[in-house]
Structure 1
Amino acid sequence: MTEKVYVATKALINCDDRVLILRESEDYTDGSNKGYFDVVGGRVGFGQNIFKNLRREAKEEAGLDIEIIEPFFTDTWHPIIKGEQASVSGIFFNCYAQTDKVRLSKDHDKYLWIMPTHHKYHTLIPNLHRVFDAYIEKYLKK
């Protein structure tokens, strides 16, 4: 068995003090979190630039052009992808969008702009709660 190890970039996209979350569609055949909200992002392919990758993901998933501010959190999770256990190491970035006008990809069926402090009221992928907690600690606590 080949080990499935990936690197991912993820964006907490801020616009008007709210952060974008996207719900994975039940129709997304390659999805591992159907019905749950996630943030924009995805796996980085071999030889890809992480910043270009994240900007591309934001454009593809939400139709947004983003400004990448800085990385603020890293994490590793272990999803089942296409029936196989994988290990994904993710880098989470604080990002900014000038507009809240979202154009969803076919892989998502709903989006919300939420107050970061309200993340626990939404059906997020469970590992995202600690990401939001880190975001709040770094950017919202004075």
Structure 2
Amino acid sequence: MTSPDPAIRPQLAVSGAIFREGKVLLVRRARSPGKGFYSLPGGRVEFGESLHTALHREVDEETGLRIEILGLAGWREVLPTPAGGGHYLIMSFAARWASLEPVLNDEHDDFKWLHPEEIGDLKVTGGLQEVIEAARRLL
């Protein structure tokens, strides 16, 4: 029996709702999937990497920030659509900003520190508000 192609398996990912003075950090994706949508920093977990290690690495790569992880705020499953896309299980954590200022890599083209109530009509990824609210409860 052969193993399925890794490209057709669900991918494990992490994201961080990073709070600073009551505001959460949102980053805008510069390319697909989700180009133009604001979301939380994060990405795929590498083989052999813990969820916390992956989140620290992804936040560092994407924003340059140092964070303190507070706990799991929730999860979201993204399924492929007829138009394509991958299958992801995203574990979302609540975190506090610890140091440094955002310096974005090429995966993002904008960032905002916003109070959750200020997100309003901003173009955001699915389920974002629920994750942010769950994360805020852990602060």
TM-score (norm. length: structure 2):
0.84
1:91 aligned residue: 91
Pairwise CA RMSD: 2.1
Cα separation, 1, equivalents of 2:102 and 2:80: 27
Tell me if structure 2 keeps the 8 A contact 1:15–1:100.
no
2:27 aligned residue: 22
Q: Judge which range, 127-136 or 13-22, deviates more.
A: 127-136
| Percent sequence identity over aligned pairs | 26
1:72 aligned residue: 73
The superposition leaves residues 53-99 of structure 1 with CA deviations (integer Å, 9 ceiling, x where unpaired) of 1001111101101111111211211256xx74422111111101134
Say if 1:85 and 1:35 are closer, same or farther in 2 by CA, change over 3 A.
closer
What is the one-letter code of the residue matched to 1:65?
Answer: R
Cα separation, 1, equivalents of 2:52 and 2:120: 28
Count of residues in correspondence between the two structures: 133
* Local SS of the residue matching 2:119: helix
Structure 2 gap segments, 5+ residues each: none
1:51 aligned residue: 52
Structure 1 gap segments, 5+ residues each: none
* Local SS of the residue matching 2:105: coil
Tell me if structure 2 keeps the 8 A contact 1:14–1:95.
yes
